Amino acid sequence: MSEFIISGTELAAYCGNDSAVKVPDGIESIGEEAFFGLGFIRRIELPKSVECIGKRAFWGCAALESISLPDSLTAIEDYAFRECASLREITIAEGVTDIGEAVFRGCGQLERVYLPDSLTRLGISTFSDCFGLKEIRLPGFIKAVPARCFHWCVNLEKITIPSGVKELDNEAFQGCMALRNIGLPEGLEEIGSRCFCECAKLTAINVPKSVRYIGADAFYKSGILGECKDEFLVFAGILVKYLGDKESVCVPDGVMTIGDYAFAYCGGLKEIRLPQTVEEIGEYAFERCEALESIALPDGLKKIGKGAFAECGKLTQIKLPCGIERIGSGVFERSGIEFESNGGLTCAGGKYLLSFTGEADRLELPCGIRVIADEAFLRCRVNEVILPEGVIAVGEDAFRWRSELKRVTIPKTVSYIGSNAFANCTGAEIKIDQPKGYLGENAFPVGARLEMTVDGRQIDVVLEGRIKAGGGERQLWEFAADPSEKTFGTLENEKYKLACGIAFYGCGECYERYLKENITQAVCYAARQDTKLLERVLSFGLLSLEQLGECIEFTLENKLAQQQVMLIRYRGQHFGTDDEAAKRFEL
């Protein structure tokens, strides 16, 4: 077995020159690049013990025609079979739950693939450039068809999307030129940008009413555009594309969303009337409509996307409705509209802060501001910002890159904080009154100190990680927004749980029980924070003499002199000054 390099239960590399390879029994994982680029191998037999195939394990095995995947297998990692150009068929056994990125990309002769019902996730570009693939069944438990999953599978003719899928990501089926039939399930919510781009034979599609977003150029150069007899391509209330060339356009009733780039580059368009049903205008929806002079926005409009009216040079005035909840960046960039600017603050209608380009040590935004646009503070310098009551939304990237920002005050009216809103504001103190609503990915940076006031109680924490789905920081926010035994029970980060337990001690049995069981950790945590918090924890009266000794030793080790004095005083008050105690805590 000298041709195999084995480390424990991992096959690290194959050094032989056989065209047919049988991997030894007992191997549990095929290591990264174990067979990388071995173009002479035609057949591989894996033992029943293999559980994982590592990254790039068989990438470039151009002659590989056959490989047996055992029932023990649970994961296939990124690029595992990429550019195995001779592989025609593969069966993935039940038990595999995850297939990584670009696993079968460039397997040009792959015709048949069996995906097990146990599969819950496909990676980006899983079957990209599999030119021979004609048909495939997707298992029922996947929630998304990822970006470029079937990119340029030029012979793929039909596919049915399972009922649990919520998203078809960007370019998922781009270049599937033979695709004629695709079934989309009720419950689907998003169709990404260029999803069906260049699907020339796809002339009809049933888009369910559940779809709430269709990305830019989703059907560009597809058969659907060629077959559309109307000047408006509309699916599920979304105006995907305007196909006409009129100077004056009246969008039909029932349209709820003007899609990304829907009217972009319509150079002859001068006037447009939107129905009262429109609630959202997508990104760059009217970009470079250079002749556009007039547009009336409906009263029910809730959101205007990035660059929606960018480079509309003849558009010199516009009235924004009072109920807008979200505004993207650069909405009116290089348009003919000039908004009032005062001290670097540019506002629209007195309610919408589009940008701040000045410098300030302490900036208190004027009353009446309702929405802070995406990237509003991209080009400025400011050390402290106070948001007034009435602000409901802080846009994506609003304060990103403001590394000099030290303090922020967010009022209880805010119910939306966008992704990366305060990213890179490392070390900032962020005070939030009654946290609630939507908190985007990475909205606050690692190292930020959050001071959250919840029902009159204060939770002070320093963030240890990024805000992401399922993470401890997300759990913390969910508790602050809805403090309960259920949300308290989901807290996995010990420091966050201690902070919340201390804040809500006396408000329920779950908090009292937790602190009684973890009082030593709670006292040590509070001692590290500040004396005020330590004083609160000591007031609970939960420490035993032995636990108190551990806490005093902690303050000694960490040179917390003031906290040490407080604990010694607590000892005297609760346990007296008997000889035994004095000897135990002799300094």
> For helices 519-529 and 509-517, what crossing angle results, to 10°?
90
Q: Judge contact between 191 and 169, C-beta under 8 A.
A: no
Residue among 508, 419, 530, 513 nearest 466 (CA): 419
For position 582, what pLDDT does the model report? 46
For position 275, what pLDDT does the model report? 97
Q: Judge contact between 342 and 363, C-beta under 8 A.
A: no
Average the pLDDT over 378-404 and give the result. Answer: 97
Residues pairing with 347 in the sheet: 353
Q: Could you tell me where in the chain the CATH 3.80.10.10 domains are found?
A: 232-338
Cα distance between residue 81 and residue 99, in whole Å: 11
Strand 257-258 with 271-273, pairing: unpaired
pLDDT, tens only, 154-195:
999 989 899 999 999 999 999 999 999 898 999 999 999 999
pLDDT, tens only, 103-124:
999 999 999 999 999 999 999 9
pLDDT, tens only, 223-267:
999 888 899 999 999 999 999 999 999 999 999 999 999 999 999
Q: What spatial distance separates the first Cα and last Cα of the chain, rounded to whole Å?
A: 65
Residue among 180, 134, 141, 148 nearest 163 (CA): 141
Confidence label for 58 from pLDDT (cuts 50, 70 and 90): very high
Residue among 121, 171, 177 nearest 151 (CA): 171
Residue among 468, 469, 474, 527 nearest 498 (CA): 527
DSSP 8-class letter at 471? S
pLDDT, tens only, 325-351:
999 999 999 999 988 888 999 999 899
pLDDT, tens only, 431-459:
999 999 999 999 999 999 999 999 999 99
Write the CB contacts of 381 (distance below 8 Å, at least 6 apart in sequence). 359, 360, 402, 404
**Cβ-based neighbour number of residue 132 at 10 Å:** 16
pLDDT at 487 over 80: yes
Cα distance between residue 40 and residue 18, in whole Å: 8
Judged by phi (left if over 0) then psi (alpha if -120 to 50, else beta), residue 489 lies in: alpha
| Fold of the 232-338 domain | 3.80.10
Amino acid (1-letter code) at residue 45: E
CA 292 to chain CA centroid, Å, is: 35
Q: Judge contact between 84 and 62, C-beta under 8 A.
A: yes
DSSP 8-class letter at 410? E
Cα distance between residue 453 and residue 411, in whole Å: 10
Amino acid (1-letter code) at residue 450: L
Strand blocks (E) in 357-422 = 359-364, 371-372, 381-386, 393-394, 407-410, 416-417
Structure pTM?
Answer: 0.89
Residue among 472, 532, 474, 543 nearest 503 (CA): 532
For position 369, what pLDDT does the model report? 97
For position 577, what pLDDT does the model report? 58
Cα distance between residue 419 and residue 474, in whole Å: 13
